[in-house]
Amino acid sequence: MSREKILIIEDEKDLVKLLKYNLEKAGFDVVAAHDGESGLALLRKEKPSLVVLDIMLPKMDGFEVCKAIRQDAKVPILMLTAKREELDKIIGLELGADDYVTKPFSVREVIARIKAITRRASESQTERSLIRVGHLTIDLEGHDILIQGKSIRLSPKEFELLKTLVKAKGRALSREKLLDEVWGIEDSMNIDTRTVDQHVARMREKLGPEGTRIMTVQNLGYRFKAD
């Protein structure tokens, strides 16, 4: 089983050594950078599970680094700082940090916070990849449909059609919109909207009683009834 990787961006080298030693003892892999620019480069290269980010950094401060990370990555961020001002905490959290620790701190507390953040991130990812409605479970990553634990085989287009309807969260989607979303805009221009009806009919049959959740909206299209 692979170990989660932590990226530390901190210019105090003794502190980096202390955190690295204890995090590795706790079961993490650790990489480190001592300035903001190097930290961003290492982030792109290593793709860590979490970033421990100091605010007071050379070249780019932690706020700039946090903002840059959030432009293209959702990796959790734990910010470190020697400052106690509430404003710094607010700025860091508003820029996208997940948690905040003020120096001096207990290494045990930092490790506990890291474990809590990575656990929440893992649970959130699992929740996003599985959609459960009634007896129906849609595995977005595995492209699988389960009804009361039994796998139901849908065609790729049927699966995408069901996923699109479920993620609309009860909103009605027109046949034209479904064609655009599932078949693509270019293909949808050459496909009759009755194709959607045919796929829905087959999907309802395969889903059995759960298929009644796919409701026809007169003169428009379809919606998925979650409850």
Comparison of pLDDT for 82 and 20, the residue scoring more: 20
Q: How confident is the model at residue 83 (pLDDT cuts 50, 70, 90)?
A: low
Domain span at residue 78?
5-128
pLDDT of residue 8: 96
Specify whether 56 is located in the same domain as 111. yes
Mean pLDDT across 153-175: 88
Say if strands 150-152 and 144-147 run parallel, antiparallel, or are unpaired. antiparallel
CATH number at residue 174: 1.10.10.10
Please check whether residues 147 and 118 belong to one and the same domain: no
Domain boundary among 128, 163, 181: 128
Do 20 and 59 sit in the same domain of this protein? Answer: yes
Last residue within a domain, chosen from 128, 151, 182:
128
> Quick one: 11 and 116 in the same domain?
yes
Q: Which residues of 13-36 are buried (b: 16+ CB within 10 A; e: fewer)?
A: eebbeebbeebeebebbbbbbbbb
Mean predicted confidence (pLDDT) in 103-109: 88
Look at residue 2 and tell me whether its pLDDT is greater than 70: no
Q: Are residues 153 and 85 in the same domain?
A: no
User: Does 156 share its domain with 180?
Assistant: yes
In order of 54, 61, 66, 95, 100, the CA distances from 58 in angstroms are 10, 6, 14, 19, 20
Q: In this structure, are 39 and 105 located in the same domain?
A: yes
Strand 221-224, strand 214-217: pairing: antiparallel
Q: Which of residues 90, 111, 128 is at a domain's end? A: 128
pLDDT at 85: 64
Question: Are residues 152 and 83 both part of a single domain?
Answer: no
Unique residue bearing structure tokens 């599985």: 130
The per-residue pLDDT for range 130-153, each reduced to its tens digit, is 778 888 888 877 778 888 878 888
Is 61 in the same domain as 98? Answer: yes
Q: Which comes out higher in pLDDT, residue 23 or 87? A: 23
What's the CATH code of the domain at 32? 3.40.50.2300
CA angle 23, 26, 32 (to 5 degrees): 20
If asked whether residues 96 and 118 sit together in one domain, one would say yes
What is the overall mean pLDDT for the chain? 85
Residue 122 vs residues 2, 18, 24, 143: alpha-carbon distances, Å:
14, 26, 19, 19
Shared domain for 41 and 60, answered yes or no, is yes
Q: Which residue has the tokens 């989607």?
A: 173
The total of structural domains in the chain comes to: 2
Residue 163: pLDDT above 90?
no
Tell whether 24 and 10 lie within a shared domain.
yes
